Chains A and B, each alone.
Chain A
C-alpha cells in the first residue's frame, strides 16, 4: 500500500468516524495518528507528530486573537447592541411588506460590522427577532429560518474570523480579504431582502400573514440615541483598521474593549455578565481551537501521504480547467458543510486546494470569498448546520423542531448559492474595491 492510498483511506475513515458521531477533533487525531504510523511505520514518530502539533499548531499571534474576536462578539450582544441594531433597522423598513423580516436582515448586516462570528448573530437575533416576528404573524418556521440565513452575514461583512483564518492558511492580506467581503456581504443582504418581499407576496403560507406594526413607538431622537453607540463601534473597529491605528488582528481586542467601555458606561454590563461572557468565550474558543489543532495534525499527515500534491496533478491531468475544479470544490465544500463546521472545513480543504489552484493564476483573495460563501451555505444545511443548532438551543421551544428551522432556512441557502454563483462569474464583486 502506498502512502497515497493510506492518505485516501484515512480520508474515508475520517468521514465515517465523524458521521458515526465521534468527536470531530478526536476523529481527526485518530486518523492522523494511524495514518502517520502506517506511512512511516513508526508509532513513536506518529506520537511525536501529534504532540508537536498540540504544542505549536495554534501557537501564533494570529490564532492568539481568536478568543478576542469571540469575546468582542459576545460582549456586543450582551451589552444589547444587537437589539439596538434591530430597532434601528426595523424603524427604517417599517412600512414595507415583510418589513420586520427585512429589518432583521438589515440589523444582521449592521451587527456583522461589529462582530466577527456568525454564532453571536444567530444567538442574539433568535432572542430578539424571532419572538417579535411570530407575534406579528410570521410563521415560526420562516422566522427561525430567516435568522439562520441572515446570521451568515456575520462572517462575510468584516471583521470576520473565517476570513482571518483563510488569510492565515493562504498567506493573504487579511485587510484585503476584509475589503473583498464587503460587496458580496451587502449583495447577500439585498438579495435576502428581495427574497423576503417576493416570498411574502407569492408564498404567504410559508411566510405567514405579517400584520402592520402600527405607528412607530420610537421618536427619531431615541432611534438616534440607539444608533450612536453602534455607529461609534463600527467606526472604531473598521476605521481603526483602515486608518492604520491597529491591525485587523488587533481589531478583536479593540472592539471588545470599546464594547466593554460603552456597555459599562451605559450601565448595560455588570461584572457578573462580564464573567458569563468570559466563560462562554473560553468555551467557544477552546472548541474551535482544539478543532484547529486536530485539523493541523490531519493536514500534516495528509501532506506526508502526498494526497494534496496527487490531487493537484490529477486535476491538471484530467484537464478539468479552472471552472471544473472550482465547481467540484464548491460542491465538496457545501457537502462537507452538512457534517462539519466552517472552520474545520476550511482547515481541511484549503491546504488541499491551494497547490491545485495556485498554478492556475487565481486571485486568492477572490478564492477566499468564494470559500467563505460556500462554507457558510453549509451552516444552513442538514444534518449539521451549526447556525440552526444554535438557534434551536437558544430558542428552547419544543414546538419548533430542528426540521422546521432547516426548512425555513432552505430558501436562504438557495439565495446564498445564487450569490456564490454571481461572485464566481463576476470576480470584481469581491476584488473590485481593492
Chain B
C-alpha cells in the first residue's frame, strides 16, 4: 500500500509538509472524538434530563466537512486514496518511463482541480466572514461557517503541495 519513505531522506520543505499533514490529521482525529461525545451528550440529555443540547445537528454538519478535509492530506500521503491498481502496476513493470509520465500527468490534473476548488472557496471566504454567515436558527443556536471554509482552503493547499511532492519524489529517487 503505502511506500514508507524515511523522513530524513527528504529535503527540508517536504519534511515540514509531512509534519503539517500529521498535525492536520491529529486535529481531525480529535474532532471525531468530540463529535462522538457531543452526540452522546445530546442523546443522554434528551432521554435522561429531557433537555436536548441545541445545535448538535448543526455542529455535526459543520464538523464533518472539517474532518474530511483535515484528514484527506494524510490519506493521500499514506497511499489510502481510492484507485484501481491493476493497470498502473502492469504499466510500471512493462514500461516504467511511461508509467511515471502517466502518474505525473494524473498528479498534475489533481493539483489543478484542487486549486480550482481552493481558489473558488477562497473568493467566498471574505463574504462569509463579513456577512457573518451562519447555520442554525437565530435565538436557538447559530454557528459561523467561515472556520470550515478556512480549513478547506488550508487543507486544500496542503493537498496540492502533497501532490507536487509525489511528483518530486517520483523523479528524485
| A218–B131 alpha-carbon span in the complex (Å) | 66
Of all chain A residues, the one with the shortest Cβ separation from B115 is A47
Task: Please report which residues of chain A, range 38-73, place their CB below 8 angstroms from some CB of chain B when the two chains form the complex.
Answer: 46-48, 50-52, 54-55, 58-61, 63-68, 71
Q: Inside 8 A of B30's CB, which chain A residues have their CB?
A: 278
Contacts of B124 in A (CB 8 A): 51
**Residue pair A55, B68 in contact (C-beta under 8 Å):** no
- Give the residues from 99 to 116 in chain B that come closer than 8 angstroms, CB to CB, to chain A: 102-103, 106, 109-110, 113, 116
Q: Which residue from B39, B78, B149 sits with its C-beta under 8 Å from A55?
A: B149
Stretch of A167-175, A178-186, A245-253 on the interface side: A245-253
Q: What number of B residues sit within 8 Å (CB to CB) of A?
A: 57
Interface readout for A65-89 with B: 1 if CB under 8 Å, 0 if not? 1111001000000000000000000
In the complex, which residues of chain B have a beta carbon less than 8 angstroms from the beta carbon of A47? 116-117, 119-120
Segment from A24-32, A155-163, A424-432 that makes contact with B: A24-32
Question: CA A21 – CA B106 in complex, angstroms?
Answer: 9
Question: Is the pair B39, A68 in contact by a Cβ cutoff of 8 Å?
Answer: yes
Q: Contact between B43 and A21 (Cβ–Cβ < 8 Å)?
A: no
Interface status of B158 (Cβ within 8 A of chain A): no
Bound together, the chains give a CA A184 to CA B109 distance in angstroms of: 43
Given contacts A50-B120, A283-B78, contact A21 B88 (CB under 8 A): yes
The answer to whether B33 and A278 touch across the interface, beta carbons within 8 angstroms, is yes
Contact of B64 with A by CB under 8 A: yes
Q: Do A21 and B113 have beta carbons less than 8 Å apart?
A: no
B84 surroundings in chain A (CB, below 8 A): 18-19, 21, 24, 339, 383-384
Interface residue tally for chain A (C-beta within 8 Å)? 59
Kindly specify which of A122-130, A204-212, A284-292, A323-331 makes contact with the partner chain.
A284-292
A402 to chain B, nearest CB (A): 10
Please name the residue on chain B nearest to A384 by beta carbon: B84
Instruction: Give the contacts of B22-80 with A (CB-CB under 8 A).
Output: 25-26, 28-30, 32-33, 35-36, 39-40, 42-43, 47, 57, 60-65, 67-72, 74-75, 78, 80
Query: B85 on the interface (CB 8 Å rule)?
Result: yes
Selected from A21, A55, A71, A253, the residue in CB contact (under 8 A) with B83 is A21
In A224-255, which residues have CB < 8 Å from any B CB?
A: 245-246, 250, 253-254
Indicate if A195 sits at the interface (CB-CB under 8 A): no
Known contacts A282-B25, A384-B86; is-contact A51 B78 (Cβ 8 Å):
no
- Residue in B62, B63, B102, B156 whose CB lies within 8 Å of A20: B102
| Neighbouring B residues of A289 by C-beta, 8 Å | 64, 67-68
B36 touches A285 (CB 8 A): no
Contact A254 B121 (CB under 8 A): no
Are B61 and A282 touching (Cβ within 8 A)?
A: no
Known: A21-B88, A54-B152, A68-B39. A279 touches B25 (CB 8 A): yes
A-B contact count (CB 8 A): 181
Chain A, residue nearest B155 (CB): A286
Please measure, in the bound complex, the distance between the C-alpha atom of A287 and the C-alpha atom of B28, giving whole angstroms: 13
Also in contact, A54 and B32, with CB within 8 A (given A26-B106, A289-B64): no
B87 within 8 A of A: yes
Closest A-chain residue to B89, C-beta based? A21
Q: Which residues of A contact B80 (CB under 8 A)?
A: 283-284, 286-287
Question: How far, in Å, is B153 (CB) from chain A's closest CB?
Answer: 10
For residue A256, CB closer than 8 A to chain B, the reply is yes
Beyond A26-B113, A286-B74, whether A250 also contacts B32 by CB under 8 A is no
User: Is A257 within 8 A of B60, CB to CB?
Assistant: no
Instruction: Report B-chain residues with C-beta under 8 Å of the C-beta of A275.
Output: 29
A20-B102, A59-B65, A290-B81 known; A282 and B120 CB under 8 Å? Answer: no
Pairwise interchain contact A291-B82, C-beta atoms closer than 8 A: yes
A286 contacts B109, CB within 8 Å? no
> Which listed residue (B35, B40, B106, B120) contacts A67, Cβ 8 A?
B35
**28 CB-based A-B contacts, threshold 8 Å:** A18-B83, A18-B84, A19-B84, A21-B103, A26-B113, A51-B116, A51-B117, A51-B120, A59-B65, A61-B57, A61-B61, A68-B35, A68-B39, A71-B36, A250-B39, A250-B43, A254-B43, A257-B40, A278-B33, A279-B25, A281-B32, A285-B67, A286-B67, A286-B71, A289-B64, A289-B68, A340-B82, A344-B82
A: residues with CB less than 8 A from B are 18-26, 29-30, 33, 46-48, 50-52, 54-55, 58-61, 63-68, 71, 245-246, 250, 253-254, 256-257, 275, 278-279, 281-287, 289-291, 293, 339-341, 344, 383-384, 393
Inter-chain pairs besides A68-B39, A287-B82, 12 sampled, C-beta below 8 Å = A19-B87, A21-B86, A23-B83, A64-B60, A66-B64, A68-B36, A245-B43, A278-B30, A285-B67, A285-B71, A286-B28, A340-B82
